[in-house]
Homo-oligomer: A and B are copies of this chain.
């Protein structure tokens, strides 16, 4: 008799709520529009605020919503496709002319253990750390640290070797550019990448205008010279707003939506 379903699957409330909201977003809201606040939405749907928030969290994770403390919840634009280097074709060093990154900063630090392992250097050994950022449409979408062991670019002095002693304190950004220039002297033998889910550390979160712990896509790139790992880059992309694209050189047509 067309009885639809005998409650065999008690779907969680927040899951159902998410579906309802998702459809409402498609049909009744425009991008950038601001939703009613959480307390009102919860009341309207007859659920506790925590339950409503569980649904909103999921929608934000999927890039449908954007929530900002003190402001409100808005309908997010479709995810932007960010090109993460064409894998076919020749590989290039970071900082090559015309790449999408801005060079920010430089320091000499001890590499994090995971990076030290990839670089095959001692955990204590200081390495160059070049910080870069990537903008798209006025928004910062990614933050990167490029780790370069001292012996990959022997011509560049480390802080410890008195870069500030001789010739005055050079600007961090200038030092960063020096490291990149030195890298370009090496012949890049190859590279490989991995992508995984992570949560933003406090500093990255601030840079990406998110709260600490926000979901991010972590792209780890290993740069090879003579079969050896000459540098490692750790790039952190906003998972809510980005779709990483590994486009073919041949197939650079646009993937809409």
Contact = CB atoms under 8 A, between A and B. Distances in A.
Interface residues of A, number: 46
A194 B117 contact: no
A62 B250 contact: no
A14 B111 CA distance: 27
Interface string A189-232: 11111111111000000000000110101001010100000000
Contacts of A197: 61-63, 197, 215, 217, 239-240
A58 interface: yes
A91 B62 CA distance: 29
A213 B246 contact: no
A20 to B, nearest CB: 15
Contact of A81 (B62, B194, B215): B194
A117 B257 contact: yes
A87 interface: yes
B195 A217 contact: yes
A216 B118 CA distance: 26
Contacts of A222: 251, 255
Count of chain copies: 2
A195 B244 contact: yes
Contact of A255 (B58, B190, B194): B194
A127 B123 CA distance: 53
Contacts of A58: 199, 213
A190 to B, nearest CB: 4
A244 B192 contact: no
A79 interface: yes
Contacts of A198: 62
A251 B190 contact: yes
Interface string A68-102: 00000000000101000001100100000000000
Interface in A227-257: 239-240, 242-248, 250-251, 255-257
A67 to B, nearest CB: 16
A11 B31 CA distance: 33
Given A192-B246, A194-B243, 10 more contacts: A15-B212, A63-B197, A79-B196, A81-B194, A88-B88, A117-B256, A196-B239, A196-B243, A222-B251, A224-B250
Interface of A: 15, 18, 58, 61-63, 79, 81, 87-88, 91, 114, 117-118, 189-199, 212-213, 215, 217, 220, 222, 224, 239-240, 242-248, 250-251, 255-257
